[in-house]
Structure 1
Amino acid sequence: MNLNEATEENLKYIIDEMAKKLQVVNRSIMDPDDYKLESYDQLKELYDMVEQKGNLSVSEIQAFIDELASHRK
């Protein structure tokens, strides 16, 4: 899978993976259908940061979730 391409499938994948990594309980806020494909590059950057970071503190998780919320439709 080439995540450098902005496709609906890749968008769904990165949102689902971030939801797992951020341990989001309320998955309705991480519904891939709620995110615009036009925001793919910014969402991919967030995904890359989450992947590189490893373990996240509670405040870091909240910051990522807040940033994700700003990209919702």
Structure 2
Amino acid sequence: MDLNTPTNDNLVFMINTLAEQLQVVNRGLMDPEDYDIKHYEDIKDMYDMVQMKKGQLSVSELQAVVGELGKYRVKA
């Protein structure tokens, strides 16, 4: 899978992976359908950062990433 190519499948993969790694309890907050492909690069940057620091993120860093992802959710 080439995550450098902005596709909906890649976006879904990254959001689901982030939800698991960030241990998001309320998965409704990380529903891939709530994210627009136009924010792909920003979401990929966060995904890459979480992958690099896998298992080494503090609670406040985890909360910051979840909060930042929330900014990219499509408002209903």
TM-score by length of 1: 0.97
What percentage of residue pairs aligned between the two structures are identical? 49
Deviations 1:9-36 (A, max 9, x none): 0000000000011000100000000000
User: How do 1:1-73 and structure 2 match up within 5 A?
Assistant: 1-55=1-55, 56-73=57-74
Q: How many residues align?
A: 73
Alignment-mate amino acid for residue 51 of structure 2 = E
TM-score by length of 2: 0.93
Return the alpha-carbon distance in structure 1 between the equivalents of residues 48 and 6 of structure 2. 14
In the alignment, structure 1 segments of 5+ residues that lack a partner are: none
Please identify runs of 4+ aligned residues in structure 1 that moved more than 3 A: none
